[in-house]
Structure 1
C-alpha cells in the first residue's frame, strides 16, 4: 500500500514521488506523481502535484538527489493535480526556470471554466450536480493552487527542435545539454508533453497513459494512441529502460513496459469496437442510453485508467461517440446524436 508522498528511488539521482487518487465524495484531490532528477548540477522537477504535504515530499526528494546549483521545473500539462506547487521554483534558493505548455495556459488561469466545459458535455448523462457547481467543488479540492511562479514561461517561447531518439523523430525541446528531452504529445489534453531523461532511461508519460480513451474535452484519441505506440518502440530499441506516469504508483522496468503499452492499445481498439457495436443498429443514438451501455462495456473489458468513476466514464463515452463520427443534433442534454444525413441516406449511385 502506497501513501501520498512516498518515494520510489530509481537511482541515486532520480526519484518518483507518489501521488494519490481522486475522491470527490470525501473531499480528497487526486495528486499526480512527480519525477525528481538531477542532471549534472541541475535539479529537474517534472510536475509538482498539489497540497502542502506533497510539496514537502518534493523538497525531501530534491535533497535526496542533490547536490544541485540550479533548477528546472517542467509542467507536462495544465491539469490541477499536476500544477499546484509550481511556485516551488521560486523557493529553491538557486537560479530556476519553469516551463509550461502554451496551449494549457487558459485552463491554468481559469480552471473552473475548463471543468464547466467538461461537465456541460455530460449533463444529464449520469447523475451529477449542476456543471458550474460541480466545477467549483472540484477545483476547491486543489488548494493551495499556485500554477505560476516568477520564472514561469512557455515551452513555445523557445525554438522548436527536431529530436531523434532511436528510429523515432519527435519535435519538442531539450534542456541540460540534451539530458532532458521534452516531447510534444498533446493527446490527454491540448498542451500535453512527455519527458525522456536520457542518462537514466526514464520515459515519463505523465497522463498520456491514463487508460485507452481520453476523457477531457480537449483530448485527442489519435495522439494518445500514437504516443503509446512510439513509447513502445523506444523500449523495444533500448532507448528507454523505465516507464513512469502520472497516476500509476509504480515504475515499470524493461520488459514490463512494452506489454503494458500494447495492452492499452488493445483496450483502445476493443472499446472502439464495442462502441461501434452499440451504435450499429440505429441511425440516431441517445447519449444517455449509450453511456449506460458503454459503461457496461468498459467494466466487461476490465478497462481501468486513472480515477475510474461514472463521471469520467461518461466523459469517455461522449469522446467515443465523436470518434465514431456522430454529432449532436441539438443542444439538449440528451439530444440524439447521428452521423451526417448524406452518409445515412446516400441516395442513388451517380451515373
Structure 2
C-alpha cells in the first residue's frame, strides 16, 4: 500500500513521486505521479499533481536529485490531477521554462466545460448525478488548482522536431541537448505527450497507459494503441529500460514492461470482441444496455486501468460504440438508441453517377 507523496528512487538523480487513486465517495481526488530528474545543472519535473500535501512532497523530492541551477517543468496533458501545482515553477528561485500542450489549454482555462461535455455523453448510462453537478462535485476535489505559472507557454510555440530513437521516428521537442525528449502521443486526450529521459532510460507514459481503451471525450483509441506498440519497441531495442506512468504505483523494467504493454494491447482487442458480442446481430442498441454488458466484459476479462469505476467504464463504453461505427439516432435523447448508418450505393440521380460520368475529378 503506497502513501501520497511516497518516493521511489530510480537513481541518484531521478525519482518518481507517487500520487493516489480517485475515490469520489470518499471525496478523494486522484493525484498523478510526478517525475523528478536532474540532467547536468537542470532540474526536470514532469507533471505536478494536485493538493498541497503532494506539492510539499514534490518540492522535497527536488532536493533529493542533486544540485541544480535551472529548471524545466513539462506538463504531459491538461487534466486537473496533473496540473494543479504548476505554479510551483514560480517558487523554485532559478530560471524556469514551463511547457503545456496547446490543444489542452482550453480545458486548463475552463475545466468545468470540458468535464460537463464529457459527462453529458454518459447521462442515463449509470446512476450518476446530472453532468453539471457531477463535474462540479469532481472538480471541487482538485483544489487548489493553479495550472499556470509566470513562464508557462505551449510546446507548439517551439518548432516541431523529428526525433529518432532506435528504429522509431517520433515528432516532438527535445531539451537539455537531447537528454529529455517530449514525444507527441495525443491518445488519452487531444494534447497528450509522453517523455523519454535518455540518460536514465525512463519512458514516462503518463496517462497513455491508463488502460487498453481511452475514456475521455477527446481520446483517440488508435493513437493509444500505437503509442503502446511503439513503447514495446523501445524496450525491445533497449532504448528504454524503465517504464513509469501517471497512475500505477510501480516501476516496470525491461521484459516486464513489454509484457505489461502487450497485455494492454491484448485487452484492447479482447474488449472490442466482447463489445461486438454485446451488440450481437442487432444493428441497434441502447447505450445503457451496452454499458451494462461492457462493464460485465471488463470484469470477466479482469481489465483494470488507472481508476476503475462505473463513471470511467461508461465513458469508455461510449467511445467503444463510436469505435465500432455506431452513432446516436437522436442527438438529444440521453439513452436513445444507437445504430450503424444504413449503407447504400448512390442512386442514378446522384451527382457523378450518370452514365459516362467520371465522377468528381
- Structure 2 gap ranges (5+): 348-352, 356-361
Q: Which residue of 1 aligns with 2:199?
A: 199
Matches within 5 A, 1:1-351: 1-330=1-330, 331-342=332-343
SS at match of 1:125: coil
The question of whether the paired residues in 1 share the 8 Å contact of 2:73 and 2:89 is answered with yes
Cα deviation digits, residues 57-100 of structure 1 (max 9, x gap): 11111000020000000000000000000000000000000000
The question of whether the paired residues in 1 share the 8 Å contact of 2:101 and 2:155 is answered with yes
- The whole-number CA distance in structure 2 between the counterparts of 1:151 and 1:285 is 49
- The whole-number CA distance in structure 2 between the counterparts of 1:172 and 1:23 is 34
Equivalent pairs, count: 348
- The whole-number CA distance in structure 2 between the counterparts of 1:167 and 1:280 is 41
| Superposed CA RMSD | 1.4
Structure 1 residue 334: Cα displacement: 0.6
- The whole-number CA distance in structure 2 between the counterparts of 1:311 and 1:346 is 41
SS at match of 2:294: helix
- The whole-number CA distance in structure 2 between the counterparts of 1:31 and 1:275 is 30
Cα deviation digits, residues 93-145 of structure 1 (max 9, x gap): 00000000000001100011111011000000000001101101111100000
- The whole-number CA distance in structure 2 between the counterparts of 1:298 and 1:97 is 41
- The whole-number CA distance in structure 2 between the counterparts of 1:194 and 1:280 is 37
Runs of at least 4 residues off by over 6 Å: none
The question of whether the paired residues in 1 share the 8 Å contact of 2:12 and 2:66 is answered with no
TM-score, normalised to structure 2, is 0.95
Cα deviation digits, residues 291-338 of structure 1 (max 9, x gap): 001000010000000110011000000000000000000020011101
- Structure 1 gap ranges (5+): none
- The whole-number CA distance in structure 1 between the counterparts of 2:142 and 2:183 is 27
SS at match of 2:97: strand
- The whole-number CA distance in structure 2 between the counterparts of 1:346 and 1:280 is 28
Structure 1 residue 276: Cα displacement: 1.1
- The whole-number CA distance in structure 2 between the counterparts of 1:40 and 1:280 is 58
